[in-house]
Amino acid sequence: MTLADTPSPISRAESRGRATGAGVMAFFGLGWMACGVTDMPVTAGRVVFAAGAAVSITFAVLGARMGRGAADAPTTDTGPTAARKKKVGVRFALVVVAEWVAIFAIARVLVATDHAEAIPAFVAAVVGIHFFPLARLFGVRAYHWTGAALCASALAAAVLAPLTSTPALWTALPGFGSAAALYATCAHLLRPPG
């Protein structure tokens, strides 16, 4: 093994960021799993949800371990300054506020127009879109894939549910598709460097 083949360690800040991201993704992945099982038979839905809970707990525990291990990670001289952290925090808050305002507005319109069944798909699309500015903000290119996968699950529901006259697809496709995308992102964030 040459020096070029040796995986480069990730910085303390990056390790903490990955750990936090994995924890957040695990939490919301379980929420999307709950959406996905909504129209399943009760017993099957409970089994699938329990499996999702086990996956979420596993990713959360692995993220917590990574976060604790961040204390041993090397620091970098080029780490973010306090001003940079504040700027990132403000931009993150703006993205999240815009996301929640869009979700609220879209849900109100869908309910008012008797299309409440479409809310999960439109929420998945908005959540997917919010990953694109986060990819740039946090420097995590994989968030582009996360966003695209959530948008794809929303589009699949918007096309297939009306086309097949299967109302359960309004919850199943964005629910399971979004959960899978978030769990895949957890796995990516928690992978060893190199």
Q: pLDDT (tens digit, 9 = 90+) per residue, 59-94?
A: 999 999 988 876 666 665 555 677 878 888 899 999
Give the whole-angstrom CA distance, residue 194 versus residue 192. Answer: 7
Average pLDDT over residues 164-192: 96
Contact 13, 81 (CB under 8 A): no
Give domain status of residue 1, yes or no: no
Is the pLDDT assigned to residue 39 strictly greater than 80? yes
Average pLDDT over residues 158-179: 97
Per residue in 100-144, pLDDT (tens digit) is 999 999 999 999 999 999 999 999 999 999 999 999 998 889 999
- Determine the distance from the C-alpha atom of residue 141 to the mean position of all C-alpha atoms in its chain, rounded to a whole number: 13
pLDDT at 84 (0 to 100): 78
Give domain status of residue 32, yes or no: yes
Give domain status of residue 3, yes or no: no
Give domain status of residue 91, yes or no: yes
Give the whole-angstrom CA distance, residue 137 versus residue 131. Answer: 10
Give the whole-angstrom CA distance, residue 194 versus residue 128. Answer: 27
pLDDT at 72 (0 to 100): 66
pLDDT at 92 (0 to 100): 93
Average pLDDT over residues 6-32: 83
Identity of the residue numbered 181 = A
Number of domains in the chain: 1
pLDDT at 9 (0 to 100): 61
Average pLDDT over residues 43-49: 96
Is the pLDDT assigned to residue 8 strictly greater than 60? no
Identity of the residue numbered 50 = A
Give domain status of residue 39, yes or no: yes
pLDDT at 2 (0 to 100): 42
Give domain status of residue 87, yes or no: yes
Give domain status of residue 104, yes or no: yes
Which segments of the chain does DSSP mark as H helices, in order?
Answer: 12-36, 42-69, 82-112, 119-138, 142-164, 169-190
Give the whole-angstrom CA distance, residue 45 versus residue 41. Answer: 6
The three-state secondary structure class of 1 is coil
- Determine the distance from the C-alpha atom of residue 179 to the mean position of all C-alpha atoms in its chain, rounded to a whole number: 8
pLDDT at 5 (0 to 100): 45
- Expressed as residue numbers, the domain containing 152 is 9-74+83-190
Give domain status of residue 21, yes or no: yes
